[in-house]
Structure 1
Amino acid sequence: MARPPRFDTDQILDAAVRLAASAGPAGVTMSAVAQAIGAPSGSMYHRFTGRSALLAEVWLRTVERFQEGYLARLHSDPDPRAAARTAARHVVAWSRTRPEEAALLLHGAAEFGRADWSEEHIRRADSGNESVFAAVGALAASLGFSDAKGRDRIVLALIDLPLSIVRRPLRAGEPLPPHAEDLAEECAAELLAAP
């Protein structure tokens, strides 16, 4: 009878998140993750075919966790402006409660080796991104933002500005200011106010 694995996939990916948060994507190697959890390096290859698979999984698990909550907020209220404000707050609140994962996402998929990912990993990444942009697009349409300027306005309100609020403190390893969620919501409300 085979022995059960000593470390599960989530423990391995949690260690990879910590390494990525402290040393960036370059710090996430098979041997570094194995060392971080006290496992033999060879055991990593029983879970992942190589470093590119490890990088893909740590990126995808993190971004999928974020997107699940973000999509829920975008659909949280029949009033599209209220849903937009809630979604903008979510970017900051999620980053506050998961600073290591949020710091990882600031790097972007390309830095996590997307060019070397398997077709399945790329499909998962694209599917999640398409879901988010479809939901943001639907919200834009419900607000009457159908031209290029309107679409840019909603992307700025719901993606770019909330990310800019968290980027500087996370990159500096500092906590987010206590008013960060309020700033994200206020910026979204101003940008999406009825003309």
Structure 2
Amino acid sequence: MGRPPRHDTDRLLDAAAGLAATGGPASVTVTAVARAAGAPSGSIYHRFPSRSALLAELWLRTVERFQEGFLDALDGDSPAAAARHVVAWCRANPDQAAVLLYGPVDFGEPTWPEDARDRLAKRNAQVDRALRALADRVGHPGAEGADRLVLATVDIPYSTVRRHLRAGNAIPGYAEDLVADCADRLFA
């Protein structure tokens, strides 16, 4: 039986998220991640055959972690609960939230391996279905209802956290109430 790896994938991706949070996607290079994680470059290349694969996995791991709770919140009948989740998750995971404030294209999505692009498409389709289903349940079916829900549960919460995270400030404790109030008003 071999020895366990000294530099596991999550540790390497955590280092990459920290780099992206402070310097943006361009700062996430194999050399920088190796330095930040205290790992040899070979450990990075052992897990990620290219920088593109590293950036893909950073984005996908981050968005999948976020979407776990977001999908749960969308499964209920309250747009406000989903809006609250965005703010609470971002407060609890500031480096990963900073990654999400960019988009997959900022992390080189057009150059990702095909399986990574497929994984992203499947995750996005799952969220789209959940958003449309919630819009139907709260009496706002169709494209306009889905757009209203995206505004309430994505756009407004991300705008709220972006301002604080980009300034290097903590997200205030009342931010969940603000976004929930906005969501409630959009669906009153």
Pairwise same-fold verdict (TM > 0.5): yes
Distance 1:110 1:89 in 2: 26
Aligned pair partner of 1:168 in 143, 147, 163? 163
Deviates more, 1:108-117 or 1:155-164: 155-164
Aligned pair partner of 2:123 in 121, 124, 128? 128
Match of 1:115 in 2: 110
TM-score if structure 1 supplies the norm length? 0.92
SS of the residue 1:45 aligns to: helix
SS of the residue 1:46 aligns to: helix
Deviates more, 1:44-53 or 1:148-157: 148-157
What displacement does 1:5 show? 2.2
Distance 2:116 2:143 in 1: 31
SS of the residue 2:35 aligns to: helix
What displacement does 1:140 show? 0.8
Root-mean-square deviation (CA), in Å?
A: 1.3
Match of 2:138 in 1: 143
Match of 1:158 in 2: 153
Which runs of 5 or more structure 2 residues have no equivalent in the other structure? none
Aligned length: 188
Match of 1:28 in 2: 28
Distance 1:95 1:131 in 2: 21
Distance 1:97 1:147 in 2: 33
Match of 2:95 in 1: 100
What displacement does 1:143 show? 2.0
Q: Structure 1 vs Structure 2: percent identity of aligned residues?
A: 57
What displacement does 1:138 show? 0.5
What displacement does 1:177 show? 1.5
Match of 1:90 in 2: 85
Q: Which amino acid aligns with 1:161?
A: I
Match of 2:8 in 1: 8
